[in-house]
Amino acid sequence: MNPHRYPKLRQIFLAAVLLLMCQPAWAEKRVALVLGNSAYQNVAQLPNPVNDGAIIAAKLREAGFDVVDSRHDLPAAETRRALRDFADRSRDADIAVVYYAGHGMEVDGTNYLIPVDAKLERDTDVYDEAFSLDRVLLAIEPAKRLRLVILDACRDNPFAKSMKRTLASRAISQGLAKVEPTSPNMLIAYSAKAGSTAADGDGKNSPFTVALSKYLTTPGLDVRRAFGFVRDDVLKNTSNRQEPFVYGSLGGEDVPLVPAKPSASVPAPAPNPQAEVRRDYELALQVGNKDALSAFVAQYPDGFYANLAKIQLGKLAAEEARLAATEKARLAEQERARLAAEGTQKAQLKAAEADAKAAEQARIAAEKAKQVAQEKAAEAERKRIATETPATDKGPEIITAAGNPAADRATANPPAAEKPQAEKAEKAVNVAALSAGPPPAELAKPMQTADLTKSLQIELRRVGCLSGDADGEWSAASQRSMALFNRNAKTKFDVRLASVDALDAIKLKPARVCPLVCQHGFEADGDHCSKIVCGEGSFLNGDNECEKRRAKTPTARRNLDERPDRSERVARPEGLARPERLDLPVRPRPAPEVRVSRPQASGQIICDMGGCRPVRRGCRVDYQGGSPRDGSGGNVEVCN
Final residue of a structural domain among 402, 434, 466: 434
Examine residue 531 and state whether it is found in any structural domain, yes or no.
no
Examine residue 550 and state whether it is found in any structural domain, yes or no.
no
Range of the domain at 399: 275-434
Is the model's pLDDT at 300 over the cut of 90?
no
Is the model's pLDDT at 166 over the cut of 60?
yes
Q: What is the pLDDT of residues 406-423, one digit of tens each?
A: 334 333 344 444 444 444
Please report, for residues 84, 208, 326, 357, the alpha-carbon distance to residue 234 in angstroms, rounded to integers and kept in the order given.
33, 6, 41, 46
Residues 57 and 140 placed together within one structural domain of the fold = yes
Is the model's pLDDT at 506 over the cut of 70?
yes
Q: What sign does the CA torsion over 122, 128, 129, 135 have?
A: positive
Mean pLDDT of 443-454: 61
Is the model's pLDDT at 632 over the cut of 50?
yes
Residue 505's pLDDT is: 85
Is residue 48 within 8 A of residue 205, CB to CB? The reply is yes
Residue 617's pLDDT is: 79
Alpha-carbon distance 74 to 200, whole Å? 20
Q: What is the DSSP string of 610-630?
A: TEEEEEETTEEEEE-SS-TTT
Alpha-carbon distance 274 to 107, whole Å? 67
Please report, for residues 10, 123, 331, 354, 359, the alpha-carbon distance to residue 347 in angstroms, rounded to integers and kept in the order given.
109, 81, 19, 11, 18
Tell which phi-psi region holds residue 633, choosing left (phi > 0), alpha (psi between -120 and 50) or beta. Answer: left
List the beta bridge partners of residue 151: 100, 190
Final residue of a structural domain among 489, 507, 525: 507
Mean pLDDT of 7-16: 52
Q: Which helix (H) or strand (E) holds 15?
A: helix 7-21
- Count of structural domains within the chain: 4
Alpha-carbon distance 81 to 87, whole Å? 10
Examine residue 553 and state whether it is found in any structural domain, yes or no.
no
Give the angle subtended at the CA of 557 by the CAs of 552 and 559, to the nearest 5°. Answer: 150
Alpha-carbon distance 415 to 255, whole Å? 16
Q: What is the pLDDT of residues 237-266, one digit of tens each?
A: 888 888 898 999 888 888 898 888 776 555
Dihedral (Cα; 509, 511, 515, 520), 10-degree rounding: 150
What's the pLDDT band for 397 if we cut at 50, 70, 90?
very low
Share of the chain above pLDDT 70, in %: 73
Alpha-carbon distance 483 to 360, whole Å? 23
Residues 409 and 464 placed together within one structural domain of the fold = no
Alpha-carbon distance 605 to 602, whole Å? 9
Pairing outcome for strands 95-101 and 104-107? unpaired
Residues 170 and 306 placed together within one structural domain of the fold = no
Q: What is the DSSP string of 437-476?
A: SPPPSSPPPPPPHHHHHHHHHHHHHHTTS--S---S---H
Residue 5's pLDDT is: 47
Look at 278 and 551; give whichever has higher pLDDT.
278
Examine residue 514 and state whether it is found in any structural domain, yes or no.
no
Residues 224 and 145 placed together within one structural domain of the fold = yes
Is the model's pLDDT at 184 over the cut of 60?
yes
Residues 429 and 454 placed together within one structural domain of the fold = no
Residue 540's pLDDT is: 84
Residues 462 and 372 placed together within one structural domain of the fold = no
Mean pLDDT of 59-78: 92
Count, residues in the chain: 640
Alpha-carbon distance 590 to 575, whole Å? 14
Residues 87 and 223 placed together within one structural domain of the fold = yes
* For the ranges 294-298, 342-346, 529-533, 623-627, the one whose mean pLDDT is highest: 294-298
Q: Residue 639 burial by CB count (10 A; 0-12/13-18/19+): exposed, middle or buried?
A: exposed
Q: What is the DSSP string of 470-501?
A: --S---HHHHHHHHHHHHHHT----TTS--HH
Alpha-carbon distance 317 to 327, whole Å? 16
Q: Count of CB atoms within 10 A of residue 48's CB? A: 22
Q: Count of CB atoms within 10 A of residue 610's CB? A: 9
Mean pLDDT of 127-137: 89
> What is the rounded average pLDDT for all residues in the chain?
76
> Coil, strand, or helix at residue 184?
coil
Residue 61's pLDDT is: 93
Mean pLDDT of 306-334: 85
CATH number at residue 241: 3.40.50.1460
> Coil, strand, or helix at residue 14?
helix
Examine residue 595 and state whether it is found in any structural domain, yes or no.
no
Nearest to 90 by CA among 33, 26, 25, 34: 33
Q: Count of CB atoms within 10 A of residue 433's CB? A: 16
Q: Which helix (H) or strand (E) holds 506?
A: helix 500-507
Does the model's pTM come out above 0.75? no
Examine residue 254 and state whether it is found in any structural domain, yes or no.
no
Residues 457 and 412 placed together within one structural domain of the fold = no
Final residue of a structural domain among 410, 434, 458: 434
Q: Residue 69 burial by CB count (10 A; 0-12/13-18/19+): exposed, middle or buried?
A: middle
Residue 623's pLDDT is: 74
Residues 78 and 164 placed together within one structural domain of the fold = yes
Kindly give the interhelix angle for 207-215 and 223-237, rounded to the nearest 10 degrees: 140
Q: What is the DSSP string of 396-452?
A: EEEE-TTSSBS--TT-SS--TTHHHHHHHHHHT--EEEE-SSPPPSSPPPPPPHHHH
Cβ partners under 8 Å of residue 230, min gap 6: 208, 211, 212, 214, 215, 216, 244
Is the model's pLDDT at 355 over the cut of 90?
no
Residues 234 and 301 placed together within one structural domain of the fold = no
Examine residue 339 and state whether it is found in any structural domain, yes or no.
yes
- Min mean pLDDT across 276-285, 298-307, 471-480, 559-568 is at 559-568
Nearest to 458 by CA among 445, 439, 471: 471
Residues 60 and 205 placed together within one structural domain of the fold = yes
Alpha-carbon distance 496 to 479, whole Å? 6
Q: What is the pLDDT of residues 555-567, one digit of tens each?
A: 666 665 555 555 5
Q: Residue 515 burial by CB count (10 A; 0-12/13-18/19+): exposed, middle or buried?
A: exposed
Residue 157's pLDDT is: 74
Residues 168 and 296 placed together within one structural domain of the fold = no
Q: What is the pLDDT of residues 14-62, one digit of tens each?
A: 555 444 444 444 468 999 999 999 999 988 888 889 999 999 999 999 9
> Coil, strand, or helix at residue 230?
helix
User: What's the gap between Cα 144 and its chain centre?
Assistant: 40
Look at 342 and 436; give whichever has higher pLDDT.
342
Residue 571's pLDDT is: 52
Residue 215's pLDDT is: 93
What's the pLDDT band for 531 if we cut at 50, 70, 90?
confident
Examine residue 428 and state whether it is found in any structural domain, yes or no.
yes
What's the pLDDT band for 306 if we cut at 50, 70, 90?
confident
